Structure 1
């Protein structure tokens, strides 16, 4: 059995993915190779030659990725902060841009002992679980209204608890319900949210349109319907000095800060860009 250079297999995978219109073909080709080999991506240079079955396994995964199946569905996981969570059909895949929102939240919590954190529209549970990992002393609550997403979140929360992380308190609820987490009014240090915010009718990549649950992506009211409720929840949940950070569409760089400023109890409203320079999330503090 003639062994083959892994470098050539990655180059071929990159070519196929580029032709298919995948946004980051080289990145995805390397991650697919690492997945098939069962190693970290950084160890790929230490594996110069591979057996033909490995090349064939890579080819099959690359074929699926070329059909625009999300890479995370093919590998079965997505990363956020210092953790990975399992993802698949029926749950929104965490995005790298959300790292910046997480960083802002963790920075706000510095110097606070036993902070109370709420993650709204938790989906896979990634944000809540990343906070619990970074801050073992935190009391973290998470909520979603979708049963499939909650099943994924429960699975991921159980896995993180087994790994020794602080358990997250997971609930079924809708952010449009004014009674959700009413017992926490005025007690929360940090509210995080990555809600559905893409305006209905917006053209999105096939990875999103074909695989992400629509209710986790799109929102009526120009994409602001859910965000309006999240702003109201944050205003009542936060304690003085607490903060809220919520992701939004790149067309909402003016609208979401305006909604936050409309709440007199919220101050220091700011909008933040992602690494590509697009308006991505807004923050505010409770006065």
Structure 2
């Protein structure tokens, strides 16, 4: 059989995805074509003709996407920062919005200027934030916590891949980030905490790609979306060293509540809300400040006056 125009295959794919209600049919059609061809999406115009076997494989991928299977499950990867992560059933797919939290963390570490900073990623899922930070800051000592065994397996797989690529290995822990006894060895020594925890209020309407495929335990944070964040903040307070900082992603309906949770604790200052690219509240940052008792302990004792 003769080779076929790639452009026509993509036009057909866009039509199929539009009919299926996929939110971004052209982008997804082009990304899947680029993935199959092993090229950048911007270079699709340089491939006028493709083999019939490629068209058949492409149509099969489009049929999967039309069933509202996440694009990242079909390609098997999802980006975060400068790295790609393996994802699939059983793990939360990293979202582009979290790139902003990553950018904040890297900027803070640059300004913070501490050698070998200790970083802690809570609810790491695929290991996205932890591994992206380890890639950008090879001097950092990065710990990551995940509760669900399936997600932890994906994080371990990604960590092993990144280590083979030459990145500094991270330390993975299985545990509940709301557990008051978790990681006692890190108390008072963490420089940056980042977290993309379960934060969607129960009952929220979600796209099929999310509700049918992302693990529910990675999505929902109780009736108000704060059932994980509220108790997690107490742990963050004991892990952070004075001067360290935290960033927590949240649902766009409760940015004010998350900021208030941090502001209500005397150990946190410089609380600030950050929007996503659409202008919606997306994550809150805060800095660990000394309590009066800690400040008084840090003050030098004045020398006794001589008679």
**TM-score, length-scaled by structure 1:** 0.98
CA offsets per residue over residues 94-137 of structure 1, 9 Å max, x none? 00110000000000000222110000001100110000000000
The alignment status of 1:262 with 2:258, answered yes or no, reads no
Deviation, 1:234, is 1.4
Name the SS for the 1:23 alignment partner.
coil
How far apart, CA to CA, are the structure 2 residues paired with 1:152 and 1:253? 29
Deviation, 1:245, is 0.5
Name the SS for the 2:228 alignment partner.
helix
User: Which residue pairs with 1:175 in the alignment?
Assistant: 177
Equivalent in 248, 251, 262 of residue 249 of structure 1: 251
How far apart, CA to CA, are the structure 1 residues paired with 2:23 and 2:184? 42
Aligned length: 287
The alignment status of 1:278 with 2:280, answered yes or no, reads yes
1:47-196 equivalence runs, <5 A: 47-110=47-110, 111-196=113-198
Name the SS for the 1:223 alignment partner.
coil
How far apart, CA to CA, are the structure 1 residues paired with 2:126 and 2:35? 21
How far apart, CA to CA, are the structure 1 residues paired with 2:264 and 2:258? 10
How far apart, CA to CA, are the structure 2 residues paired with 1:21 and 1:278? 24
**Structure 2 unaligned runs (5+)?**
290-307
- Please, what is the CA RMSD of the aligned residues? 1.0
Name the SS for the 2:68 alignment partner.
coil
Runs of 4+ more than 4 Å apart: none
How far apart, CA to CA, are the structure 2 residues paired with 1:213 and 1:66? 20
Range with greater deviation from structure 2 (36-45 or 150-159): 36-45
The alignment status of 1:32 with 2:28, answered yes or no, reads no
**Structure 1 unaligned runs (5+)?**
none
CA offsets per residue over residues 11-69 of structure 1, 9 Å max, x none? 22112212211111111111100121122323222211111211111111111101100
Choose 1 or 2 for highest CA Rg.
2
How far apart, CA to CA, are the structure 1 residues paired with 2:66 and 2:282? 28
Name the SS for the 2:10 alignment partner.
helix
**TM-score, length-scaled by structure 2:** 0.91
Range with greater deviation from structure 2 (131-140 or 267-276): 267-276
